[in-house]
Amino acid sequence: MPEVILAGAAGRIEARYSAGKTENAPIALILHPHPKAGGHMNNPVTVQLFHLFMTRGFSVLRFNFRGVQKSQGEFDSGIGELADAATALDWLQAKNPTASQFWVAGYDFGAYIGMQLLMRRPETDGFISVSPPTNAYDFSFLAPCPASGMFLHGGNDFDRADRRSRSRRHQAAFAKGHCDCFRSRAGSQSLLE
């Protein structure tokens, strides 16, 4: 899959793109974990999300936030990274002007940025938020959430999210359960079925 370089506010943004096979293929933007914890677009969960959408016929883009690998700039505590995500989405939409749907999927910090992007972009049709860092960031901005999607997290994450939800005095709905779907591509594909 080809490397693409996007022009971002902090300089170039390194990305990987896979085009869908139909003219109006849906599009998906994939966001990686926290840059300060070693997160990058080739993280195994991020790559699994990318392949999940790619095998379903989506045009898919994943990229490195500013300051990660070949992307220029420095970490900006989420503000600049949200701008990077908006730039990536603009590029993806310009490349696919007749896309039938738009989904955003993120892991950890990428889930946080993805949900912020979702709230700012009404054209978002769906989301997948894997291990959203509810212990580090306030997600109360999602009330109400304008798109359908799913939050995936481990059992211990649920306990932390529930405590944080009560302590923040906002309501959050989390589906408690077990998910090991990212151990194989087949398991990932069953996620949306």
Q: How far apart are CA 88 and CA 93, in angstroms?
A: 9
DSSP single-letter state for residue 131: S
Residue 154: the pLDDT is 79
Residue 159: the pLDDT is 56
**What pTM was estimated for this model as a whole?**
0.84
Residue 75: the pLDDT is 98
Residue 191: the pLDDT is 47
pLDDT, tens digit (0-9, with 9 covering 90-100), for 112-127: 999 999 999 999 999 9
Residue 158: the pLDDT is 55
Residue 143: the pLDDT is 84
The reply to whether CATH 3.30.420.10 applies to domain 3-192 is no
How is residue 108 written in tokens? Answer: 């950890």
Residue 162: the pLDDT is 54
Residue 156: the pLDDT is 66
**Structural domain spans, the chain:** 3-192
In which element (H, E) is residue 53 found? Answer: helix 44-54
Beginning with the edge strand found earlier in the chain, give each strand of the sheet holding 59-63 in spatial order: 3-8, 11-18, 59-63, 27-31, 102-107, 126-130, 148-152
Q: C-alpha distances in angstroms, 135 versus 7, 34, 46, 127, 182?
A: 32, 14, 20, 20, 22
Sites in the chain below the pLDDT cut of 50: 164-189, 191, 193
